[in-house]
Structure 1
């Protein structure tokens, strides 16, 4: 691994550093429960809804008035727990399910690119290096597109009046912002990987042409 890093170009090394920041931002965004948050005010000092992530919802006395039994919810719990079945229709709005779906695709694509980067550094033959760099670049482009769709959907509807209670006090929080950082850096690293693949391909062509000329001169 270290041998490959020392032989790599400065562009590739810088790209790895940016990619690590993108990975870290996306992972924190995916698991942290602060995509949407309620801001306490004098009018609403203790909001029933506190914060929400892709997979966790946090409440402080929230209850569904339409249910025959008044069940109140406290603390942070996973959205898919059976306990939240009572308010499933309020939690799993179609736009929120779409956000989960597209950002999960983004996350899976990110893991796939991580595996390909490790493969490139540790065990890939020279013959396949250009192809693997291109695969990583294309994979990151697709992942970033899925992440962009998820962020646009949630940004447009996440703090709307039809989702969490007291929507006037709700705002898009820092996990959502980290998602933008991670996705933007995916675009950047995708372009840099494709540029690196192009540079390596040109070097290979130059070596092949130089080798061919050397052989011809040797025969003469």
Structure 2
């Protein structure tokens, strides 16, 4: 029995693409970017955890004397007044996006360990080989669905007129594109691993049937 079929090999390859895309989307800050040609734009770019502004006025400062410039971690404790606008920076949809995409990342990292076991160590002769592949498939499916929820929520609310300024001059950046690719690739990889699980299960059943038939034939001849 082969260790992996075509579905399993393709699943590993697609998983690598999903892993790279999800990690890049999670760690970079170009989910929403401003048109660089607009000189008066207040937003530069933002990600899940970092916001970069050209000159964002403090929404809590009526005199408009405080502005935020440059890139900052969303939970930056050192910039005066930054914690006061966190409610503006993290509306409910953004928290939901962070939550679901974090689930996607965690699922992909757990799958990485299992895929390494599948690729380097496990074989069809081992007892839990089919179970391992099935678990990988379902974890990746959960990751893909979580990532899809995150990108759909962000796509629906991330560039609306009541959040970041100059929304008509903003667009979804390459980090958001990586999130879309990563989510889709997780679902594709899960399909391939679940297909591999089904194929390996069928092979194991056929192998057991052939062994049983061989034993019966040998006993009959004896």
TM-score after normalising by structure 2: 0.90
Spell out, residue by residue over 1:18-49, the C-alpha distance to the aligned partner (whole angstroms, 9 max, x if none).
110111111111111000011144xx414121
Q: Residue in 2 aligned with 1:72?
A: 67
Which residue among 41, 48, 54 is the counterpart of 1:47? Answer: 41
- CA displacement, residues 54-99 of structure 1 (integer Å, 9 cap, x when unaligned): 0110011212143267332221121111232032121011111111
Contact residue 109 and residue 143 of structure 1 kept, 8 A: yes
- Asked whether the equivalents of residues 103 and 150 of structure 1 are also in contact (C-alpha less than 8 Å), the reply is yes
Deviation string 1:164-200 (CA, Å, 9 cap, x unpaired) is: 1122211111111111111111111111101100100
Partner of 2:171 in structure 1?
Answer: 171
Equivalence map 1:105-184=2 (5 Å) = 105-124=103-122, 126-184=126-184
SS at match of 2:181: helix
SS of the counterpart of 1:57?
A: strand
Q: 2 CA distance for matches of 1:11 and 1:66?
A: 55
The 3 A distance-change label for structure 1 pair 65 and 213 is: closer
Unmatched 5+ residue regions in structure 1? 1-5
Answer 1 or 2: which has greater helix percent.
1
2:97 to 93, 96, 99: 99
**Whole-angstrom CA distance in 1 between matches of 2:200 and 2:97:** 37
SS in 1 for 2:22: helix
Match of 1:28 in 2: 24
C-alpha distance in structure 2 between counterparts of 1:11 and 1:153, whole Å: 31
Secondary structure (helix, strand or coil) at the match of 1:164 reads coil
What is the CA–CA distance in structure 2 between the aligned matches of 1:97 and 1:188, rounded to whole Å? 26
Q: How many correspondences in the alignment?
A: 213
Which of 37, 45, 51 lines up with 1:57 in the alignment? Answer: 51
| 1:98-128 per-position Cα deviation (integer Å, ceiling 9, x unaligned) | 1101111111111111111122234446110
Could you tell me whether the CA contact under 8 Å between 2:59 and 2:85 is conserved in 1? no
Is the CA contact (8 Å cut-off) linking 2:53 and 2:71 kept in structure 1?
A: yes
**Aligned position for 1:3:** none
Is the 1:40–1:169 contact (alpha carbons within 8 Å) kept by the matching residues of 2? Answer: no
Secondary structure in 1 matching 2:128: helix
Q: Is the 8 A contact 1:25 1:178 kept in 2?
A: yes
